Amino acid sequence: MKPSSQEWQSPLFDNSLFRFIWRVSGAHQVGVAIISVVLFAIGAVPLELQRRIVNTATDGGPFRTILVLACLYAGLSLLEGLIKLGLNIYRNWIGESAIRWLRLTVFEMAAQPQTKTPDVSEGVQLSIVIAEAESIGGFVGDSFSQPLLQIGILTTVTSYLIFLQPLMALVIALVFLPQVAFVPILQNAINRRVGEKTSIMRQVSVSIVEVGGVFDADGTQRSRIQTVFEINMGIYKIKFSMNFVMNLMTQMGYIGILAVGGYFVVTKKTEIGTVIAFLSGLGKINDPWGELVDWYRNLRVTQVKYDLVKSVMQST
């Protein structure tokens, strides 16, 4: 994905982050999407195997059946793990290739006499090459496949749980639906701080280049570093508060499943295996939900950084 000489004659950075991602990695995004579909398609199978193993045992079924189901479970777990291994390596290769592309772009544009303007200082270029390209390029590998995989797992597992026991599935819905409302609000607060931090760090880089070293005679750099510290602490407080609420709601979900499921077992409305499947299912849903929230965080942060880099590169 090395930029060609023809690319310099057209805008390097599209207005849309996703159009830019498709431009630098489109064919590979199709590849990771196919792997993701295969992975989420088998997402609910382990839950059904768990349910059948437990129900066979509690009903006094033959051990041979339990052994066969356990072997199928082990084989499926191995297959799932190997697919995830390949997917993660492929994603990170795409991301690293995009980072390399971005860094080479800065060097190539700087070497073009017609693109040099006083608007883009060496300090800003330094900031883009060292730090900002890492964040933007790193998101490229996960940009399409991550939401596809996690939404696919959520849909597959949730549909399976609704099929098993709709009322118990309602407990899980009560855990995650409120998060759909408050996560974007808190993430917007983080995004504002990320934009401020990136701009300040560019100023730090510019000053270092201008004075020819790490000097701070008037205390300006010290003030900027203190501001970055305060911004980072604000981000951490919001981020970990969000995680606290999400984890608390998940634990309430486990309690709800045990309470409702226990009642249904006592009243002969469901089997113990179904309750076990729901407990595992909540974990199966919680993990991709957390990954999806992290992806959304990265998306919003990357959009902020991409817009900042794009504004600089398009001014050249």
Average pLDDT over residues 269-286: 90
Beta-carbon count within 10 A of 286 CB = 20
Q: What is the pLDDT of residue 116?
A: 46
Rounded to an integer, what distance in angstroms lies between the CA atom of residue 165 and that of residue 70? 24
Of residues 202 and 50, the one with the higher pLDDT is: 50
Q: Tokens representing 228?
A: 């970055």
* N-terminal to C-terminal alpha carbon distance within the chain: 22
Q: Quickly tell me which residue has 């709709």 as its tokens.
A: 166
Encode pLDDT of 153-185 as tens digits: 999 999 999 999 998 999 888 888 888 888 888
How many helices (DSSP H) and strands (DSSP E) are in the chain?
A: 9, 0
Mean pLDDT of 222-234: 91
Residues 6+ positions from 91 with CB-CB distance below 8 Å: 32, 141, 142, 145, 146
Q: List the single range of 29-33, 38-42, 83-87, 311-315 with lowest mean pLDDT.
A: 311-315
Compute the average pLDDT of residues 213-235: 84
Between CA 276 and CA 271 the distance in angstroms is: 9
Q: What's the number of domains the chain is made of?
A: 1
Q: How far apart are CA 14 and CA 314, in angstroms?
A: 10
pLDDT over threshold 70, residue 139? yes
Joined together, the tokens standing for residue 206 give 């510019």
Instruction: Sort 17 into a burial class: Cβ within 10 Å, 0-12 / 13-18 / 19+.
Output: buried
Angle at 223 between CA 298 and CA 203, to 5 degrees: 55
Tell me the whole-structure pTM to 2 decimals. Answer: 0.74
pLDDT of amino acid 312: 64
Q: For residues 153 and 82, what is the distance between their CA atoms, to the nearest angstrom?
A: 17
161: Cβ contacts below 8 Å, ≥ 6 apart? 47, 168, 169, 172, 277, 278, 281
3-class DSSP assignment, residue 15: coil
Confidence at residue 9, expressed as pLDDT on a 0 to 100 scale: 32
The residue that leads in pLDDT, 311 or 247, is 247
CATH number, domain at 117? 1.20.1560.10
> Mean per-residue pLDDT for 127-140?
72
| pLDDT greater at residue 310 or residue 73 | 73
| For residue 118, pLDDT beyond 70 | no
pLDDT confidence bin for 232, thresholds 50/70/90: very high
Q: Give me the pLDDT at residue 146, please.
A: 93
- Please give the structure tokens belonging to residue 308: 């900042």
Stronger pLDDT, 149 or 293, i.e. the higher one:
149
Neighbours of 288 (CB within 10 A): 23
220 vs 35, residue with greater confidence:
35
Q: Domain of 206? A: 5-313
pLDDT digits 0-9 by tens, 177-192: 888 888 888 888 888 8
pLDDT exceeds 60 at position 2: no
Region 101-119 average pLDDT: 63
Query: Each residue of 33-66: pLDDT tens digit?
Result: 999 999 999 988 999 999 999 999 988 889 999 9
Nearest to 308 by CA among 188, 204, 198: 198
* Complete DSSP assignment for 216-259: -TTSHHHHHHHHHHHHHHHHHHHHHHHHHHHHHHHHHHHHHHHH
Better pLDDT: 241 or 180? 241
**What is the distance between the alpha carbons of residues 32 and 29, in angstroms, rounded to a whole number?**
5
pLDDT higher than 50, residue 280? yes
pLDDT of residue 114: 52
- The pLDDT mean for the chain works out to 83
Per-residue confidence (pLDDT) for residue 4, from 0 to 100: 45
Task: Determine the Cα angle at 311 with ends 218 and 23, to 5°.
Answer: 135
Q: How confident is the model at residue 132 (pLDDT cuts 50, 70, 90)?
A: low
Which of 130-144, 153-167, 248-262 shows the lowest per-residue confidence on average (mean pLDDT)?
130-144
CA 265 to chain centre: 37
